[in-house]
Every structure is written in C-alpha cells, then in structure tokens.
Chain A
Amino acid sequence: MVSLAIAPGPRPLRLVRHSFALAKRSLIKTWRTPEALIDVTLQPVLFLVLFVYIFGGAISGNTHDYLQFLLPGILAQTIATGCISIGVNLNTDMEKGIFDRFRSLPIPRAAPLLGAVLGDIVRYVIVTAVTIGFGYILGFRVTTNFFEALAGCALAVLFALCLSWMPVFVGMKVRTPGAVQGMMFALILPLSFASSVFVSPTTLPGWMQAFVKVNPLTHLVGAMRGLFLGTPIGNHIWWTLAWCAGFVVVFMPLALRAYRKKV
C-alpha cells in the first residue's frame, strides 16, 4: 500500500490549520440545523420587545430612552446565554464516536475544542447583527460613529469567544447535556440580572452593588454603551479585556485537561 507521507510541520501552524478545518465542520453543522440558532436570533428580538414595552415606561419614562439604554445590555445578555450551547453541543458530541476518532488522529489534542469555539464566531456575529438590526427597526440609534460601534460589536464577539471556555469546561465535566444547560443557566442568569444590563445599579442595595461592580457583564455593557452612545466609558473596556483574559487563562487549560482525561 502506498503510504501517504504525513508531513507534520511546525506545531502551532498545525494547530491553527486543524482548528480551522474543525471550525468549518461546526459551521456546516450550524448551517444544517438552523433551528439551533433560535437562541441567537429569536431570543434577542423577544427580549427587546418585552423589556422595552413592558418596563420602558416605568424605568425610563418612555420606551425610546429605555431602548437606547437596554440594547447594549440585551446584546451582552444574549451573548452570554448564547455561549451555553457550545457546552451542550460538545457534551452531546463526546457521547458519539466522532471524538474517539479525533483523539485517534495525529492532531493536536486542543484542535477539536478550539475548532468548536472558533466555529461559534458565526453565532456571535449573527446575534450582534440581529440585536442591532432589530433595535434599529424599533428606533435604536448609535450616537457615536460607525467605527466606535464596530469596536463595540467586536468587543462583544471577543467576550463571547473567551467566555465560551467556561461552558466548554462544564461540557467536558458534566455527565449530560441537560446538566450543562442547567448549570450554565444558573451561572449566567444572576450574572445578567445583577448587572447594569436592565437598570442603572444606583438603585440597588449596597451589597448587590458591590457584586454588580465586579460583574464582567456590567463592564461589557458599560464599554458597549460608551462605544455606541458616548456615555462615560471609564475603565470598562480594560476591565472587559481583563475578564476575557481571565476566562481564557482559567477555563481553557481546565477544559483541555478535562478533555484529555475524558474516557
């Protein structure tokens, strides 16, 4: 039999190439099952409509002001909940034989996980586009400029990519897809409500304000409000980036270790 020469090449390059090949795989899967995109398409639309028209008047006096305030928050919240599915999907995938095959191939062990995370960029771009697009229909307007708004969107997508290592880790550790969903939801829900997503934190009790101040979503929302609307941005961008780095530094090695150990 003709043995095809396998030229390994430098490791980091291979990791990139293999991860992209596997990212393409998850893109094809997303494409084939568009219903898996509901959480990043229908959910932001529903949340915008419900929150703007139910709470808008009560919180901001009129719906337009609340829409301006709320939209970056809804984007942050949907991006955080949108991360959950990667953990659920990987947990489901691990049960099938396909991961056995990946692990029996001479590819860097990180590639299947990295590929899955990269493939999800598309989901985060979709959620950003849907939220802002639908917001524009309702009357949302960026008051800074195109480039700052674009930077805000890029920050949101970056945040999602880094945060998704947490559900990836949970997906490797927990036994059933349902448990991944439940556990991640229990983590994301308090994060998204005890933040500046829906209301200005000044009305909250002191102990909760302390939590809100360190909450990564507060910083992401603060940064996006600054970039979309020109509100005072303070250190929000830096804190957001620091949290991003933190998620990757902590959860990526944990996820890879759990993946390696998984029988």
Chain B
Amino acid sequence: MTSELIIEAVGLQKHFGATKALQGVDLAVRRGTVLGVLGPNGAGKTTAVRILSTLLTPDAGRATIAGYDVVRDAEKVRQKIGLTGQYASVDEDLTGRQNLELFGTLLELGRAGSRKRATELLEWFDLSDAANRVAKTYSGGMRRRLDLAASLVGSPDVIFLDEPTTGLDPSKREDMWDVVRQLVANGSTVLLTTQYLEEADALADEITVIDHGRVIAHDTPEGLKRVVGGLTLEVRPAEPGDLPRAAEILTKVSSGTKADEIRRGVLAVPVADDSAMTEAVSWLAAAKIPVTELSLHLPSLDEVFFTLTGPKSNTKKEEVAV
C-alpha cells in the first residue's frame, strides 16, 4: 500500500510559443508522502503543477492522479486534489468565512456541512478572529493560510502547494511547515514546489530537482545532500584576533576538516549534523571566544545547481562572455 504511486507523470512536455517550459519531466509520488520539487524561477515547476492539477494540458506525456488521467478524467482528478497556487487564490472581496463556505457549497458539502468545515479550518489556521473580515484586509501570512485552508475544504487526498512559503518571513515559514507535516500525518499526499533546499529537506521524503524543464536529479534529501554537500557551520568571532583560535576549534568540531575563512572574518567548516552547532557553542564558550554570528547552512539553490549542473552552466557563462 505504501508503495502505491498516487501521482505519476511520465515525459511531460509543454511549450508556450518558443519557450519550452517542460521538456520531458517524470514525477512520482507515493501515497502519504511529500515530494519536494526544487528549482529556480522559470524551471517549469509551476507548469508541472498546473498540468497535474488539470489547469493545463500537456503537449506530450501523460500524468495520473490516483489512477485517473489528468486530461481524460480531469473531473475525477479534481475531486481528489487541492491546489494552493503561488498567488493567493481566494476572493479578496469576501470574508474568510464566506470564501471557505463558497468552496464548501461548490464541493457539495451542503449548507450545514460547509459551515462546519469552514469553522474547523478557520480554527485550525488560527483565523477564527478574522473570520468575518474581508480577505483584502488580511496580512500576507493570513492570506496564505486562508488560501491553504480553501484548498483543504474538500479534504483532498492530494495537495499541491506551489511555493507555499515564498515571501513569508522565517517564523511564518515554520508555521507553514507544521501545517504540511500535519497534512501528511492525516494521510494526505503533498507535492510542494520550492526554491529552498532547506524547505525541501525539512518536509520532503523525496526531492526532484528540475531546471530548464528537465529533471536533473531525483533522490531522498539525504542522498541529495551527499551529492551536493551537507551542512556548513559558519562562525564570525567578535574579535578578528580570535580567528586562528576559533578556526582550531571548528576544525575539531568537523573532526579534522580545516576551517576556511570564506568571507572576511567568517569561518566555515562542513559538519555532519546539527549537533555540531551545540558542540561549537560550548567549546567556543569554554575558550572564551565571543562570536557575533553563528549559523548552520544547507547549500543554497545556487550551490546545488552548481554541483548538479556545474560544468555545463560554466561553459554557458563563457559563451555569453565571448
């Protein structure tokens, strides 16, 4: 049962005029898991989501949701899915409650059912106090939550989240992550697109990396990190004079790898996991080295792409330069 593919796409292609948005993309998601689709702006992530959610038809290739073809059985697919796009897709002139009740009516929950479901979702997304306010007056974070709530009205099996945290501040991002985890705990399957390896790493069971409309990697977060490099610990000592001593400690934390000064006054070492953070803090404290900055990083999207497509994009840059 766990290995059943609930989302399956094979060889998806889509052109918009001369732009090749997708050039043969395969995606597979097992029931009850999260697939992170990672890629930069314009990689084709949104196009893929729009095809899977029946908003676009592919030029070639096929895709099924719970066994239903997204083109031939679009109506069946729509009964299975919830979609939260990049742009808030709620009616700004309606209140939060009116929005949710409208979608309840459209999903045949009935008057009482719609009201009940709206109340549940408003509570879950911490919007009860704002329920009777027009969505126009909501903050960015509240709008996102209402948007996500709206896509959950019909309790869909499959949920598409297209860059759910883009533009949210870090604390709101964590809230959104918790919601995604709850959805999965409730048995839903989630396909989320993101530009952040960190987000995909935090949520996804598997990650598909796409670029220029092609899949360039598919792996578990662990597997992907093995390829692109894992965590980096960065430390900025308060006194530049402490740099050599701090470097020594960091080298110890990373069990041997020498710490590099990656920017003026900032040291970096690769580390195995986040326990290195606490270790570094206590050793630096013991050595009485005050620090102004201490952080743990996954490779940025740029670094991921550099590793995965490095040589190719280098040649491209040179061509441009010539």
Name A residues whose Cβ lies closer than 8 Å to a Cβ of B.
1-4, 6-9, 14, 17-18, 21-22, 24-25, 28-29, 32-33, 96-98, 100-107, 111, 263
Contact = CB atoms under 8 A, between A and B. Distances in A.
Interface in B79-121: 79, 81-83, 85-94, 98, 102-103, 105-109, 113, 117
B48 to A, nearest CB: 14
B94 A106 contact: no
B98 A28 contact: yes
B31 to A, nearest CB: 12
A103 B91 contact: no
B26 to A, nearest CB: 22
Contacts of A106: 75-76, 78-79, 107
Interface of B: 16, 50, 53-56, 75-76, 78-79, 81-83, 85-94, 98, 102-103, 105-109, 113, 117, 134, 147, 150-151, 154-155, 157, 186-188
A32 B89 CA distance: 19
Contacts of A6: 79, 107-108, 154
B87 A97 contact: yes
Nearest to B185: A1
A1 B188 contact: yes
B107 A104 contact: no
Given A96-B89, A98-B89, A105 B188 contact: no
17 contacts: A1-B186, A2-B155, A3-B157, A6-B107, A6-B108, A9-B108, A21-B102, A25-B91, A96-B92, A97-B87, A101-B83, A101-B103, A104-B81, A104-B82, A105-B103, A105-B154, A107-B106
Given A1-B155, A3-B155, A6-B154, A98 B90 contact: yes
Contact of B89 (A17, A18, A21, A100): A100
A96 B147 CA distance: 13
Given A1-B187, A2-B155, A101 B150 contact: yes
